[in-house]
């Protein structure tokens, strides 16, 4: 046996990991198969499943998901930091089919060209100078709408969804579309990226939205070239970026920039209303809204899992992975890893500050992180509780949450003294 070969202590098989950074001298084992995991159970409540997976091994082969699921914090972090061994450019990607080949499924140097094309739109200085005022106006409009609907209104669908959709519409520069269009596009394109069952109706809806987005972009680009503003499309109108990339990147941003702020807004409010002592603390000291936001995305990562593919045979935390292995980087599990977070299943805004992985990491670190923090933690949460200090979850109608690839509240009736 050559020096670089390693022997699996369980099967006796030999392997030659090719990366210099692979622990080729260390023993490794094959990924255990978690055939007890079902998509139905993950969708209802993935957290007990993640607990068991993490305890058994940092990496499992999960037949029902048709991927290796990576659940420990350290393994997820290692993947994020190493795009040479863990490519975002997954083969047979449903996201590419649904939305086109966006920056999220490209590796560098191609990825960086697309990422740079977004210019200053999503950066903190532009948010401060330009977007915060717009977010505040949108927040007023949709809070008014919630209050008009009266006690029993649904926090998610009467407020959080239209508010975040309207913000995203303006950030993108779709002056020819409505926030309802953005919500429809976002959901149907996301459904396409998760269409593992290959349902033709799901593809038909995703394709219809894709065509609508293409038409809206074609319509806006010449207008914004002549009348520039701070939007993404306005930047792109003056850049030598192929139309195909503009379309794919916008569709990915529509899919990724709406659900997550909507979900973190609703989850944070649900968690605060369910923990009155923490709510009191935040009401006494509104600077704690920022901590509530970060704890919320740690506790329930709005993007629970994203894909990567190995570029070579390698060993990840003692588990051998073949070249071309399809991985699910399970942020929802990493963010509750007890090796990093004490009492990880509990929502606690006072926990010791440690970096969570909810916004990803490495070259694909979320480009909208500062937009999400601004619209939710700085604008929406303080104003919501200022106007509705007696806000409560409706005791007559239970809230529901669901999802694992994306997770959030699906129904959240609220009441207040009117």
Surface-to-core class of residue 197, CB atoms within 10 Å of its CB (0-12 exposed, 13-18 middle, 19+ buried)? exposed
Give the three-state DSSP class for 242: coil
Stretch of residues binding ligand HEM (CB under 6 A), selected from 8-16, 40-48, 273-281, 357-365: 357-365
Stretch of residues binding ligand HEM (CB under 6 A), selected from 176-184, 196-204, 296-304, 313-321: 296-304
**Residue ranges of E strands in 263-386:** 306-310, 314-316, 319-321, 326-329
Residue 394 and residue 91: Cα distance in Å, rounded?
45
Q: What is the dihedral of CA 355, 101, 254, 227, to 10 degrees?
A: 110
From the CB of 260, what's the least distance to ligand HEM, in Å?
A: 3
Cα separation values, 105 from 162, 228, 249, 377, Å: 28, 28, 10, 29
Residue 34 or 182: the one with the smaller Cβ distance to ligand HEM is 182
Among 46, 255, 302, 328, binds ligand HEM (CB under 6 A): 302
Residue 302 and residue 38: Cα distance in Å, rounded?
20
From the CB of 394, what's the least distance to ligand HEM, in Å?
A: 25
From the CB of 310, what's the least distance to ligand HEM, in Å?
A: 15
The yes or no reply on residue 328 touching ligand HEM (CB under 6 A) is: no
Residue 42 or 165: the one with the smaller Cβ distance to ligand HEM is 165
Residue that is written with structure tokens 């207040």 in the block: 416
Closest C-alpha among 413, 415, 418, 392 to residue 155: 413
The yes or no reply on residue 391 touching ligand HEM (CB under 6 A) is: no
Residue 292 or 372: the one with the smaller Cβ distance to ligand HEM is 372
Name the maximum alpha-carbon separation found in the chain.
78
Among 60, 85, 251, 364, binds ligand HEM (CB under 6 A): 364
Please calculate the CA angle 267-365-249 and round it to the nearest 5 degrees: 90
Among 46, 255, 360, 408, binds ligand HEM (CB under 6 A): 360
From the CB of 271, what's the least distance to ligand HEM, in Å?
A: 14
From the CB of 38, what's the least distance to ligand HEM, in Å?
A: 24
Residue 209 or 268: the one with the smaller Cβ distance to ligand HEM is 268
Among 100, 368, 408, 413, binds ligand HEM (CB under 6 A): 368
Token readout for 377 is 């933690």
Residue 126 or 145: the one with the smaller Cβ distance to ligand HEM is 126
Backbone torsions φ then ψ of 355, nearest 5 degrees: -70, 125
Residue 387 and residue 382: Cα distance in Å, rounded?
9
Residue of closest CB approach to ligand HEM: 368
Give me the sheet containing 86-87, strands edge to edge: 59-62, 67-70, 326-329, 306-310, 86-87
The yes or no reply on residue 171 touching ligand HEM (CB under 6 A) is: yes
Residue that is written with structure tokens 């094959």 in the block: 30
From the CB of 121, what's the least distance to ligand HEM, in Å?
A: 8
The yes or no reply on residue 143 touching ligand HEM (CB under 6 A) is: no
Backbone torsions φ then ψ of 61, nearest 5 degrees: -85, 125
Q: Name residues contacting ligand HEM, limited to 51-110 (CB under 6 A).
A: 88, 103-104
Cα separation values, 379 from 163, 237, 355, 382, Å: 11, 29, 23, 6
Q: Name residues contacting ligand HEM, limited to 33-52 (CB under 6 A).
A: none
Please calculate the CA angle 32-68-54 and round it to the nearest 5 degrees: 60
Residue 6 or 93: the one with the smaller Cβ distance to ligand HEM is 93
Stretch of residues binding ligand HEM (CB under 6 A), selected from 31-39, 70-78, 280-288, 365-373: 365-373
Beta bridge partners of 327: 68, 308
Q: Name residues contacting ligand HEM, limited to 150-169 (CB under 6 A).
A: 168
x/- letters, 236..275, toward ligand HEM (CB under 6 A): -----------------x--xx--xx--x-----------
Among 371, 388, 409, 412, binds ligand HEM (CB under 6 A): 371
Residue 51 and residue 72: Cα distance in Å, rounded?
10
Beta bridge partners of 68: 61, 327
x/- letters, 1..40, toward ligand HEM (CB under 6 A): ----------------------------------------
Site residues for ligand HEM per CB under 6 A: 88, 103-104, 115, 122, 168, 171, 253, 256-257, 260-261, 264, 297, 302-303, 306, 358-360, 364, 366-368, 371-372
């Amino acid at each position: 046996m050559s020096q670089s070969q390693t022997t699996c202590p369980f099967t006796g098989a030999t392997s030659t990991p090719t990366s210099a950074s692979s622990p080729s001298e260390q023993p490794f084992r094959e990924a255990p198969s978690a055939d007890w995991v079902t998509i139905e159970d993950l969708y209802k409540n993935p957290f007990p499943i993640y607990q068991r997976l993490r305890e058994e091994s940092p990496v499992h082969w999960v037949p029902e998901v048709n991927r290796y699921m990576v659940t420990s914090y350290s393994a997820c972090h290692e993947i994020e930091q190493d795009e040479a061994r863990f490519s975002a450019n997954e083969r047979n990607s449903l996201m590419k089919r649904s939305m086109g080949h966006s920056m999220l499924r490209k590796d560098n140097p191609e990825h960086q060209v697309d990422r740079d094309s977004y210019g200053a739109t999503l950066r903190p200085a532009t948010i401060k100078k330009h977007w915060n005022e717009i977010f505040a106006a949108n927040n007023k409009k949709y809070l008014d709408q919630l209050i008009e609907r009266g006690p029993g209104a649904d926090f998610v669908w009467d407020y959080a969804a239209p508010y975040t959709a309207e913000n995203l519409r303006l950030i993108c520069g779709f002056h020819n579309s409505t926030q309802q269009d953005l919500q429809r596009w976002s959901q149907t394109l996301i459904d396409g990226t998760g269409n593992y069952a290959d349902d033709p109706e799901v593809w038909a809806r995703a394709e219809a939205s894709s065509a609508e987005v293409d038409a809206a972009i074609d319509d806006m680009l010449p207008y914004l070239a002549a009348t520039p503003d701070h939007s993404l499309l306005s930047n792109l109108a003056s850049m030598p970026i192929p139309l195909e990339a503009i379309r794919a990147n916008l569709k990915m941003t529509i899919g990724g920039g709406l659900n997550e702020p909507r979900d973190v807004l609703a989850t944070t409010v649900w968690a605060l209303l369910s923990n009155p002592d923490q709510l009191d603390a935040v009401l006494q000291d509104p600077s704690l809204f920022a901590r509530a936001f970060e704890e919320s995305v740690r506790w329930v990562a709005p993007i629970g899992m994203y894909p990567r593919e190995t570029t070579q045979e390698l060993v990840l935390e003692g588990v051998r992975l073949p070249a071309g292995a399809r991985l699910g980087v399970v942020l929802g599990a990493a963010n509750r890893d007890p090796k990093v977070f004490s009492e990880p299943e509990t929502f606690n805004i006072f926990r010791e500050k440690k970096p969570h992985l909810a916004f990803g990491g490495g070259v694909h670190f979320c480009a909208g992180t500062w937009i999400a923090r601004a619209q939710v933690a700085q604008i929406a949460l303080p104003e919501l509780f200022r106007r509705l200090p007696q806000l409560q979850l409706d005791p007559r109608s239970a809230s529901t949450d669901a999802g694992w690839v994306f997770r959030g509240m699906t129904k959240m009736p609220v009441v207040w003294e009117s």
